[in-house]
């Protein structure tokens, strides 16, 4: 489907373009490859399709954004479009960093549900490196995601839909190792609500980021000149 989109500007197939644009917006298409996602964004931007730019830009977050991944698609990008996509990824990263950092603020709902870990053979709390009463297996999960976000171009960005399975996997490993009673109880009573809150906050952190940034123009007399783009696909800044 993305390959068909690539040929649209050449033949000016307005009707077909509208139908495919509708399919993109409804997300009724196979899971794209990295090349297809970046190609779709480049074509949507050059074709002046803001809604399709929005959708395809968010798809690119599921893949690394390095020269190795996008080198074949670079000729399709206009300079401003690549700049905007880089800035979009950075803003999403920054929002996700703030979100995961807030997850470590364990005195605030919904994170204040957790209590000190106790195993099945002792009422003594298990040693925890987490802040407050939060178990270390949970804070370690959030800290690992913060570490991953330090390489936001080399790695895909965390997907809100994956946080539930990551949470459950970390919890299972903890229960297998320690037979923890307190975490079992908290999860049984509050686990579903807790996971939904994580998903909602992470999804909001990404959804509030716009894919476009205002153009920077330098006025020289009657001319508006856009500065040259310095492309930097790294994790600094």
Q: In terms of domains, do 70 and 100 share one?
A: no
- Give 86's pLDDT tier (boundaries 50, 70, 90): very high
Task: Write out the residue range of the structural domain in which residue 147 sits.
Answer: 92-207
Residues 198 and 133 in one domain: yes
**Within a domain: residue 64?**
yes
Q: Cα separation of 155 and 148, whole Å?
A: 7
Q: Count the residues in the chain.
A: 237
SS3 content of the chain, % helix, strand, coil (to 5): 60, 5, 35
Residue 22 confidence class, pLDDT cut points 50, 70, 90: low
Q: Is residue 230 part of a domain?
A: no
Which residues touch 33 (CB under 8 Å, ≥6 apart)?
Answer: none
Do 18 and 56 have their domain in common? yes
Q: How confident is the model at residue 195 (pLDDT cuts 50, 70, 90)?
A: very high
CA dihedral in degrees (57, 59, 61, 65; nearest 10)? -70
Residues 203, 96, single domain; the answer is yes
**96 and 172 both lie in a single domain:** yes
- Residue 75 in this model has a pLDDT that exceeds 50: yes
Q: Indicate the DSSP class of residue 112.
A: G
- Do 200 and 158 lie in a common domain? yes
**Is pTM, for the whole model, over 0.75?**
no
In a domain, 108, yes or no: yes
Residues 97 and 191 both lie in one domain:
yes
At residue 8, does pLDDT exceed 60?
no
Q: Are residues 61 and 109 in the same domain?
A: no
Is the same domain home to 155 and 184?
yes
Which of 52, 77, 102 terminates a domain? The answer is: 77
The structure tokens listed for 154 are 């080399």
For 14, the token pair is 């307005």
């Amino acid at each position: 489907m993305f390959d068909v989109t690539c040929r649209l500007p050449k033949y000016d197939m307005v009707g077909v373009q509208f139908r495919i644009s509708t399919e993109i917006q409804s997300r009724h298409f196979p899971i794209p490859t990295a090349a297809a996602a970046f190609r779709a964004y480049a074509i949507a931007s050059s074709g002046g399709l803001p809604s399709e730019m929005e959708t395809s830009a968010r798809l690119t977050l599921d893949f690394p954004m390095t020269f190795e991944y996008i080198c074949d698609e670079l000729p399709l990008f206009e300079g401003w479009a690549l700049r905007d996509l880089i800035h979009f990824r950075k803003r999403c990263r920054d929002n996700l960093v703030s979100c995961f950092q807030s997850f470590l603020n364990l005195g605030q709902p919904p994170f204040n549900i957790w209590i000190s870990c106790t195993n099945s053979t002792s009422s003594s709390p298990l040693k925890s490196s987490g802040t407050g009463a939060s178990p270390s297996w949970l804070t370690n999960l959030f800290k690992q995601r913060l570490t991953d976000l330090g390489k936001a171009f080399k790695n895909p960005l965390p997907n809100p839909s994956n946080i539930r399975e990551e949470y459950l996997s970390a919890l299972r490993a903890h229960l297998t190792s320690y037979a923890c009673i307190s975490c079992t109880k908290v999860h049984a009573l509050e686990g579903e609500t807790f996971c939904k809150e994580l998903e909602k906050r992470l999804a909001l952190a990404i959804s509030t980021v716009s894919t476009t940034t205002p153009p920077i123009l330098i006025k020289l007399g009657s001319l508006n000149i856009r500065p040259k783009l310095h492309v930097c696909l790294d994790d600094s800044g």
